[in-house]
Amino acid sequence: MKTWSDVAEVQPLVSKIITNSIKKDRVSHAYLLQGERGTGKEAIARLLAKGLFCEHKQGVEPCHTCTACKRIESRNHPDVHWVEPDGQSIKMDQIRNLQKEFTYSGVESNQKVYIIIGADTLTVNAANRILKFLEEPSKKTTAIMLTENSQSIIPTIRSRCQVIDLQPLNPTNFQQQLIDAEVQDRSAKLISALTNNLEEAMALNEDEWFATARKLMVQLVEAFTDAPDDAYLFIHNHWVTNFKERKEQEQGLDLLLLAFKDILYFHIGNEDRLVVFTPGEERLERLGMYFSQEKLVSILHHLLQAKQKLKQNVHPTLVMEQLTLQIQR
């Protein structure tokens, strides 16, 4: 999404709210953009920053060609600061350094912008420190906070931001986009359930690691029915060695969520919603016979808990060990 017109096509309400603020010169001192991955949070933040610095703006649209726009695009503008998780969280030292910037005038103008990616990963101390800016905003300072998990944002931060909800993208339309880009139908259906970002989706489709991850996910689900005594060993010998990075571990749990959702859809007769398995295949029927609806609901709950534990920095091997035991019970 390069323009507000592009944003309006997928997030019409968001586009209207922000462009109206720009037109009336009433840009908020702090925004909280909340929405699923791929819904355009970073693109919107970048567009808003460009609109505040662009040298040749046409209405609400930045030109994208001036020095300011180009530097914002490449994250090299001295008055636009990006903060991202250092490891698995945004730490107090990062916010402390940001606070130092609050005390300085803009390098090239009186305007300053701070874009905080993954605001839900702020440690408690970091979140408390960021409140100082939100409570005492400078007229020429704008904070843009982005999150996929709005429930993890402390209420005192939420209450000081203009909260903007980004709507989930239509997975069917995105799936067709992938098919038009020559991604196989089954892969398109699965990948569109994992991301709404076209660039990320195409990378997953061509990634050998992801192909292996899909196979391991199915093998683990089948291990619970075919060789339950070996499932724990499978976790140690295959799963943890393939899912090493935080993002990979989260994707592994997302894949398992989709697989167990498929089995639940089989139970309730919604086979048109399958993304991992195909309607009528023998192994899906076997899995459906093994896992009751009640058990599947419990497993989905444990999977969501496992995702939350990863965000809380619990060791991923311990997370998978506990999850395996919970599924086996």
* CA-to-CA dists, residue 16 to 13, 20, 21, 33, 50, angstroms: 5, 6, 9, 14, 17
User: What pLDDT does residue 36 have?
Assistant: 81
Distance of CA 64 to the CA centre of its chain: 26
The helix or strand, by DSSP H or E, that contains position 310, with its residue range, turns out to be helix 293-311
User: What pLDDT does residue 50 have?
Assistant: 96
Q: Assess whether pLDDT exceeds 70 at residue 53.
A: yes
Mean pLDDT of 7-19: 93
- C-alpha closest to that of 64 among 77, 51, 76: 51
Domains in the chain: boundaries = 4-165, 207-328
Amino acid symbol at 20: N
Amino acid symbol at 150: S
For residue 54, give both structure tokens: 């662009």
Mean pLDDT of 222-242: 93
- Would you give the end-to-end CA distance of the chain in angstroms? 47
For residue 210, give both structure tokens: 């992801």
- Please report, for the chain, how many H helices and E strands are present, in that order: 17, 5
For residue 168, give both structure tokens: 């989930």
User: What pLDDT does residue 138 have?
Assistant: 67
CATH among 1.10.390, 3.30.1560, 1.20.272, 2.60.40 for 207-328: 1.20.272
Cα-flanking dihedrals φ and ψ of residue 38, to 5°?
Answer: 90, 0
Give dist(CA 275, CA 268) in Å, integer.
15
User: What pLDDT does residue 37 have?
Assistant: 75
Q: Assess whether pLDDT exceeds 70 at residue 65.
A: yes
Q: Assess whether pLDDT exceeds 80 at residue 215.
A: yes
List pLDDT tens digits, range 95-142. 988 888 767 766 677 888 999 999 999 988 899 888 877 887 666 889
Percent of the chain with pLDDT over 90: 70
Residue with tokens 């905003």: 137
Calculate the average pLDDT of the chain.
91
User: What pLDDT does residue 110 have?
Assistant: 80
Mean pLDDT of 50-56: 94
For residue 211, give both structure tokens: 């192909």
Mean pLDDT of 149-173: 87
Cα-flanking dihedrals φ and ψ of residue 168, to 5°?
Answer: -60, 140
User: Lowest-pLDDT range, 178-182, 275-279, 307-311?
Assistant: 307-311
User: What pLDDT does residue 234 have?
Assistant: 95
Helices (H), 54-184: 67-73, 92-102, 124-135, 155-158, 171-180
Q: Which fold has domain 4-165?
A: Rossmann fold (3.40.50)
> Residue 250: pLDDT band by 50, 70, 90 thresholds?
very high
User: What pLDDT does residue 199 have?
Assistant: 82
User: What pLDDT does residue 139 have?
Assistant: 66
- C-alpha closest to that of 324 among 302, 292, 293: 302
Q: What is the largest CA-CA distance in the chain?
A: 67
Beta carbons of 11 and 166 less than 8 angstroms apart = yes
Give dist(CA 10, CA 31) in Å, integer.
19
Mean pLDDT of 280-290: 94
